[in-house]
Amino acid sequence: MTMSEQINKVTELATRQSGVAKFRQDFPCLAQTISDHPLVYLDSAASAQQPLAVIEKVADYHRHNHANVHRGVHTLSHRATEAYEGARDLVQTFINAGSRSEVVYTSGTTESINLVAQSFCRPKLAPGDKILITHLEHHSNIVPWQLVCEQTGAELLVAPINEAGEVDIDNLFRQLENGVKMLAIAHVSNALGTIMPLREIIEKAHSLEVPVLVDGAQAVPHISVDVQELDCDFYAFSGHKMFGPTGIGILFGRETLLDAMPPYQGGGDMILEVRFDGTTYNDLPYKFEAGTPNISGAIGLGAAVSYMQTIGMHAISAHEHELLQYMTGQLDQVDGLRLIGTAADKASVQSFLLDDIHPHDLGTILDHQGVAIRTGHHCAMPVMDFYGVPGTARASLALYNNQDDVDRLVAALTTAKEIFR
Amino acid sequence: MIAQSQSQEELRDLYRELILDHARSPRHFGKLDGATHSAEGINPLCGDKLKIYFSIDADGRISDAKFEGSGCAISVASASLLTDTIIGLKTEAALDFFSTVISRLSGRSEDGEQPFSKVDLGKLIALEGVKEFPSRVKCATLAWHALNSAIRNESETVSTE
């Protein structure tokens, strides 16, 4: 590397760092102390913090524009509807859905997946039919399928993972060829951070006419998602993992599939005409949005999308990728630390164990030094069983984290070692 | 640096030598053959899962106690200390320990009054470090709830949730 290249690289790094420092200031919740230590928040995979842009957008809605949507001719109802539907447009652009009819509001990833299991799969499944998932799914991409299997007599198949936490693609392909009716798969593993080679998998599934649902909860905050490029049939994610409010999420569904599906729940807003001798359902996406929706949540989600777009998904990915490599490297140097989840392609997350310290004890010791991490099974008990551990400690990154956060984590781990010496 | 030393002090108060010792070398660990009473305790939050066995003889004395399972240092140490404490006691006396431990660790009694001490906690005092760590009180009391359930012959599995 020439001197000028080196200078360019340093400048680029410095620019990126200062840019990130600026983003961090947008998150008021991060500016506090825990047990007299400045907070280091490394639990964004559980729930990300909200920037002021989201907090204020939601507050502004409550303060000035609240009314029910799609119902009134009065001004407030009009404003609320505009904001609520405007957020849908933002989401559509964000994930590059072909049409706004394909963007269904739900309460979160969990409801999105349950909706597909019950509305898309259940009517089609017969005893002996097979649904395929992988070993590293979150419980929310396991249990809805178990339920629909119980209801229909279908069978749940599981594609195995290797020691690094990568899905055995050959095995997955073999099982797909075995007459599978549905594939449900994470985009990014919440416990291990593994990024799935989705395009390859979806291409294979579609060659066998197997529809694919992607659990994108852990992908959307970190990597650019284009549902048309992925060519997935369903894509589920949550607002609160991507700097938006809790209780709001999205189900993207291919329009032709959504159109053919019966409603998931009945109620107001999902109908065109209700008579006692029969009801006509509303058009997409409203057919799947029964009852008064989470209006402020949707508006907050829209604000979160705008916020992320302002920064740019590629800038966010690049920053996090660099930071994850730094964190993994630093953790790997801690004596007695075992990294769990070492896939070649990863995002945001590093799980680990330290000596024989139970993750929950580690969590307490770190919290008392202001470092918030997740400990436990991460709603992925089968993953824990695979590694033969009751749980792990998990540090997860978001756009607002920096190298100082990682250094504080490592220092806190040193204290844990001293206490348990 | 004052903050640092204070929070480390609290951590060392939670993870006292006695706690770490019992967590690393739990006493009376294993299954008790011929147990007359047993109960399981589960803490879904952190995955602690303990099973406690007792032999209670005809006059209501706990002649032996053992436990098995896995959990964090606090829950394992607490179960170990529990077995150490209650072997040889009458069940009423063991239940007095239960109510005192629960009261002292959670900072209140069953009827919401001030914490009380029906008995001298002795080395169980070591568990009091959890008072500064509200999220860990469940870990420390898990085995005790299982004890209460086993003696009263209530449900086989108690959960902290």
Structural element, H or E, at residue B70: strand B62-70
pLDDT at A273: 87
Is A121 an active-site residue? no
CB of B41 closer than 8 Å to CB of B158: yes
Task: Give the residue from chain A lying closest to B140, CA to CA.
Answer: A361
- Nearest CB among B4, B6, B15 relative to A419 is that of B15
In this model, does residue A1 exceed pLDDT 80? no
pLDDT band at A129 (very low <50, low <70, confident <90, very high): very high
Reported as a pLDDT band with limits 50, 70 and 90, residue A92 is very high
What is the pLDDT of chain A when averaged over all its residues?
94
State the complex-level ipTM: 0.87
Residue range A85-97: mean pLDDT, rounded: 98
What local confidence, expressed as pLDDT, does residue A268 receive? Answer: 86
Interchain contact, B11 vs A415, CB within 8 Å: yes
Contact: A376, B139; criterion CB under 8 Å: no
Q: Which residue has the tokens 């896939």?
A: A343
Instruction: Indicate if the pLDDT at residue A157 is higher than 90.
Output: yes
Name every chain B residue with its beta carbon within 8 A of the beta carbon of A375: 46
Measured between beta carbons, which residues in chain A are less than 8 angstroms from residue B70?
390
Interface membership of B44 toward A (CB under 8 Å): no
Q: For residue A372, give every residue at least 6 positions away whose Cβ sits within 8 Å of its Cβ, in sequence order, or none.
A: A34, A39, A40, A41, A42, A43, A366
Percent of chain B with pLDDT over 90: 62
Tokens standing for residue A194:
């593994």
Closest-CA distance, B139 to chain A, in angstroms, reads 10
Q: Which among B45, B73, B135 has the least Cβ separation from residue A358? A: B73
pLDDT, block means (10 residues), chain B with 161 residues: 70 93 96 92 82 92 95 95 95 94 80 72 91 90 93 66 55
User: Which residue of B6, B7, B47 is in closest CB contact with A376?
Assistant: B47
Burial A7-33, CB ≥16 within 10 A → b, else e: eeeeeeeeeeeeebeebbebbeebeee
pLDDT in tens, A374-390: 998 889 999 999 999 98
Interface contact B46-A391, CB threshold 8 A: yes
Q: How many CB atoms lie within 10 A of CB A145?
A: 25
Q: DSSP per residue over B90-120, as a string?
A: BHHHHHHHHHHHHHHHHTS-TTSSS---SS-
Of A121, A149, A232, A379, which residue is the catalytic one?
A379
pTM score of the predicted model: 0.91
CA distance A378 to chain B (A): 10
Q: Higher-confidence residue: B119 or A296?
A: A296
Residue B15 at interface with chain A, using a CB cutoff of 8 Å: yes
Q: Compare CB distances from B47 to A37, A357, A377 and report the shortest one's residue.
A: A377
- Residue A14 has a pLDDT of 47
Residue of B nearest to A365 (CA): B11
Mean pLDDT value of segment A315-326: 95
Q: What is the mean pLDDT of residues A264-285?
A: 89
Beta-carbon contacts of residue A388 (< 8 Å; ≥ 6 apart): none
Residue A3: pLDDT over 60: no
